[in-house]
Amino acid sequence: MLKLKNLTKVYHSGDEEHVAVDGINLEVKQGEFVILIGPSGCGKTTTLKMINYLEKPTSGEILLNNTPTQHLNVVKLRREIGYVIQDIGLFPHLTIAANIEIVPKLKKMAKNKRRARTRELLEMVGMDPNIYEGRYPAELSGGQQQRIGVLRALAAEPDLILMDEPFGALDPITRDQLQEEIKDLQQRLNKTVVFVTHDMDEALKLADKIVLMRDGIIVQDASPSEMLKNPANDYVREFIGEDRLSPQPDITPVSDVMVSEPLTVPRETSLRDVMSRMKKRKSDFAVIVDDSRNFHGIVTANEIQLLKRQGENSLESVRGQEPITASTTIRDAAHRLANGTPVLGIVNKKQRPIGLVSRVALLRGLVEMWDEASAE
């Protein structure tokens, strides 16, 4: 989706030069939430600005969908990339609808389509379009204004969105709410996000991949769980903070404790056949899939016995279940399991089953993680 190859930015002041970004290489996959983090002056914002040519690279190459961006029209490139900044930058003399529709209007989107897109986006973040589309920025709270900034970036349906410390100026409660909203929107719409922050808690909460920078270079890029488990060096450990290096259910993904490659059976499978397969696999659970091989639900050995007593012959009557994803936190999975569900199915973006987690598996995984942390 996005590749940075030996990307460098050098600023000159008289006879002096300052290397802001020093030959970095980075690949961002489609649908990935990548966070650039590091101390002030490390090059993270400069890197972000070079992606849409707000800063011109001194050397190196940026490829967007395998096309070198230096060969693209800069104005067109920027219209194809969503951009959200901390200061928001809403136009005070324009209504909320007009602010959201700026880029779609520049791209000559039909008026009725622009308006439909605006109303759809407002509804996505819980802002009634009948109430908000005719208001002006000054009539909104800081959190609401920032939501509009995000919606404006999404309005033209870009595949790539750049975000430069968008929540840094907000109070903690509003920031937490917006973090959850942007992550939910990103996953639902399958958008690729490159996000700059100086807040490690924010990075651990949002990122699929964290890119930690220092003095213009990348010190480590890894998933949050990998970075917590295996910090590359003392600088990474210090930046993360020792208190965060022990297992944390609030940010640790359920993929760290899930049971991979579960037994999978079609809905029309006979109960006798399901039980036979479960015995061979020594499993108490089976994942049910529909005709498209998408996740439908989970059946336990006890439930199969109950279905037999009710005169059922197959899994057709088993109700569907809402699955979780591999990035769901252990805390959120634990809440679901505590509310009566004995086991949760885990799916990929195509809704295909990739694993499951039960109460026992979750507890066992947590104990193993804490034992490992204590031994280090």
In the chain, the amino acid numbered 89 is G
* 276 and 312, same domain (yes or no): yes
Q: What is the CATH number of the domain that holds 187?
A: 3.40.50.300
* 127 and 217, same domain (yes or no): yes
In a domain, 375, yes or no: no
User: Would you give per-residue pLDDT tens digits along the chain (376 residues)?
Assistant: 899 999 999 998 888 899 999 999 999 999 999 999 999 999 999 999 999 999 999 999 999 988 898 888 888 888 889 888 877 788 999 999 999 999 889 888 899 999 999 999 898 888 899 999 999 999 998 888 888 988 998 888 888 999 998 887 777 877 888 888 888 888 888 899 999 999 898 998 899 999 999 999 999 999 988 888 889 999 999 998 876 766 666 677 888 888 888 899 998 889 989 999 988 888 888 999 988 889 999 988 888 888 888 888 888 888 888 898 888 888 888 888 887 778 899 998 888 999 898 888 787 777 776 666 555 5
As a whole number of angstroms, the distance between CA 363 and CA 360 comes to 5
Q: What is the CATH number of the domain that holds 296?
A: 3.10.580.10
* 14 and 150, same domain (yes or no): yes
Q: What does the block give as tokens for 81?
A: 């990339």
What does the pLDDT read at residue 252? 77
Q: Under DSSP, is residue 280 helix (H, G, I), strand (E, B) or coil?
A: helix
* 208 and 345, same domain (yes or no): no
* 174 and 266, same domain (yes or no): no
In the chain, the amino acid numbered 160 is L
Let me know: does 209 contact 34? Beta carbons within 8 Å: yes
What does the pLDDT read at residue 34? 96
Q: Under DSSP, is residue 248 helix (H, G, I), strand (E, B) or coil?
A: coil
Backbone angles phi, psi at 235, to 5 degrees: -60, -45
Query: With DSSP H G I counted as helix, E B as strand and the rest as coil, what are the percentages for the chain, rounded to 5?
Result: 40, 25, 35
What does the pLDDT read at residue 371? 65
* 81 and 218, same domain (yes or no): yes
| Of 229, 247, 265, the domain-final residue | 247
* Burial class of 247 by CB neighbour count within 10 A (0 to 12, 13 to 18, 19+): buried
Whole-angstrom Cα Rg for the chain: 24
In a domain, 187, yes or no: yes
- Three-state SS letters, 156-207: CCCCEEEEECCCCCCCHHHHHHHHHHHHHHHHHHCCEEEEEECCHHHHHHHC
* 205 and 266, same domain (yes or no): no
In a domain, 320, yes or no: yes
What tens digit of pLDDT does each residue of 36-47 get?
999 999 999 999
- β-bridge pairing 209-214 and 217-222: antiparallel
Let me know: does 341 contact 351? Beta carbons within 8 Å: no
As a whole number of angstroms, the distance between CA 163 and CA 312 comes to 53
What does the pLDDT read at residue 341? 77
* 232 and 173, same domain (yes or no): yes
What does the pLDDT read at residue 217? 96
In 10 A of CB 167, how many CB atoms? 26
As a whole number of angstroms, the distance between CA 165 and CA 323 comes to 31
CA distances from 232 to 62, 251, 368 (A): 26, 19, 22
What does the pLDDT read at residue 76? 85
What tens digit of pLDDT does each residue of 12-54 get?
888 889 999 999 999 999 999 999 999 999 999 999 999 999 9
Hey, which residues does 259 pair with through a beta bridge?
356
Let me know: does 39 contact 20? Beta carbons within 8 Å: no
What does the pLDDT read at residue 374? 59
* 315 and 177, same domain (yes or no): no
Residue carrying structure tokens 């057709």: 316
Domain count of the fold of the chain: 2
What does the pLDDT read at residue 246? 62
As a whole number of angstroms, the distance between CA 230 and CA 292 comes to 38
Domain residues for the domain of 306 are: 255-367
Q: Quick one: which of 366, 354, 357, 336 has its CA closest to 285?
A: 357
